[in-house]
Amino acid sequence: MYVDLDDLHTLSELDSGQALQETINYPHQFREAWELAGRWPENLSRDEIRQIMFLGTGGGSAASVDLLASYLFDEIKVPLFLNRGYTIPASIDNRTLVVVVSHSGKTEEILNAYHQVCTTEAQIIVLTSGGKLLSLARENKHPYLLIPGGMMPRIAVGYIFLPLLGLLQRLGFVGDKSAEVKETINILSELSGQYGPIVPAKDNLAKSMAYEMAGYVPVVYGSLPLTIAVASRWKNQFAENSKLLAMYNALPALHHDEVAGWDAPQSYLRHFYFTFLQDAEDRLEITRRIEISQELLASRAAGVRKVSSVGKSRLARLFSLVYLGDFISLYLALIRGVDPTPVEIIDNIKYLLTLESRTE
């Protein structure tokens, strides 16, 4: 028996951390985040930088960097990559800019990698809301920017993404993004009025898709190079918010391997709901591949749907898709009576790791 997504009282009772309200507030968050992005220290330099490595992991930091890389893939002239683990590559040198990103400032892997970076000649910059990372940045005299804390990192995507974009703009790696950011905020404001809980399911794409997906495994397909990061974001939001395993991949790559799995017995494929992410910049070949994929899956899967980005600028379009996925993931939790905020298994893993470290 599913929860009525138009029952606002029940939704409010289930949503202990007010994740829905925090998501509705994205336009305000993005506006404030872009103001923060202009507060990076003045003494930053791009001299001799030949590559940029971000240290970050999880639904806030890593997701933001992935989106940044997709957004800037054909504009930024230096290699930009994300390092999510405990160790750093051997290529880090005095021509590397390392941007250390941890919303909490307590992420174990990132702190470990940060200590390693400190033994190199790389330029180091820090983005955090506090914690041990802030203390270390101050101790080592590394430039840093403070962002608001007290929220789930996965909901702080604006507070992480936009300061990183502002940093690259400040250093001259990209042009002025103010107009695109302004449009993005306007688009999010419009979509907030379409996807919010007060809008009934019959007029609400996010609610209707949650109803369609309920009871099935979500599979999200983006495209290379633009929307693969959005597809990854959807998958991770289904995990953290909806407490569901999900899958993601991207065209055209999946047509060379994963597609073979579509020949699985129909009794198996009937457990999966497929969503294709379409963007205005997709090549005609990608559009055709989406059409062919939909035709092939229509009679095999539990459901197949294509959703298109909204907006003129690339930034607005990417975040229009991110925003839809975030709302769907929340409704997909609430429709099953699940509180989207707690991530008990993640907290338990951290606790068990702490116990082990104390006994070593």
162 and 255 both lie in a single domain = no
Q: Which CATH number characterizes residue 311's domain?
A: 3.40.50.10490
Nearest 5°: the CA angle 295, 299, 302 is: 110
Choosing from 141, 256, 356, 360, which is the catalytic residue? 256
Query: For all residues of the chain together, what is the average pLDDT?
Result: 97
pLDDT at position 218 is 99
Q: Are 220 and 234 in contact (CB under 8 A)?
A: yes
d(CA 226, CA 282): 8
Mind listing the pLDDT tens digit for each residue in 304-358? 999 999 999 999 999 999 999 999 999 999 999 999 999 999 999 989 998 866 6
C-alpha count within 13 angstroms, C-beta hemisphere, residue 71: 27
225 and 136 both lie in a single domain = no
d(CA 235, CA 232): 5
By residue range, what is the domain housing residue 89? 19-176
169 and 23 both lie in a single domain = yes
CA distances from 216 to 94, 211, 224, 253, 341 (A): 49, 10, 25, 24, 21
Q: Which amino acid is at 69?
A: A
137 and 211 both lie in a single domain = no
Choosing from 103, 235, 240, 243, which is the catalytic residue? 240
171 and 204 both lie in a single domain = no
Q: Are 333 and 242 in contact (CB under 8 A)?
A: yes
Choosing from 106, 182, 306, 350, which is the catalytic residue? 350
Rounded to 10 deg, the angle between the 157-170 and 58-71 helix axes is 40
pLDDT at position 214 is 98
| pTM for the model | 0.97
Q: Where are the alpha helices (DSSP H) in 106-227?
A: 108-117, 131-139, 157-170, 178-195, 205-213
pLDDT at position 355 is 85
Mind listing the pLDDT tens digit for each residue in 55-87? 999 999 999 999 999 999 999 999 999 999 999
Cis peptide upstream of residue 79 (ω within 30 degrees of 0): no
Within a domain: 344: no
Within a domain: 284: yes
What's the distance, Cα to Cα, between the start and end of the chain in Å?
47
- Tell me how many domains the chain contains: 2
Question: Among 183, 134, 137, 172, which residue's Cα sits nearest to residue 34?
Answer: 183
Mind listing the pLDDT tens digit for each residue in 4-25? 999 999 999 999 999 999 999 9
Q: Are 108 and 353 in contact (CB under 8 A)?
A: yes
Question: Among 237, 231, 227, which residue's Cα sits nearest to residue 314?
Answer: 227
Mind listing the pLDDT tens digit for each residue in 217-239? 999 999 999 999 999 999 999 99
Mind listing the pLDDT tens digit for each residue in 154-197? 999 999 999 999 999 999 999 999 999 999 999 999 999 999 99
69 and 164 both lie in a single domain = yes
53 and 171 both lie in a single domain = yes
- Is residue 256 part of the annotated active site? The answer reads yes
- Is residue 350 part of the annotated active site? The answer reads yes
**Residues with Cβ < 8 Å from 358, sequence gap 6 or more?**
none
Mind listing the pLDDT tens digit for each residue in 238-285? 999 999 999 999 999 999 999 999 999 999 999 999 999 999 999 999
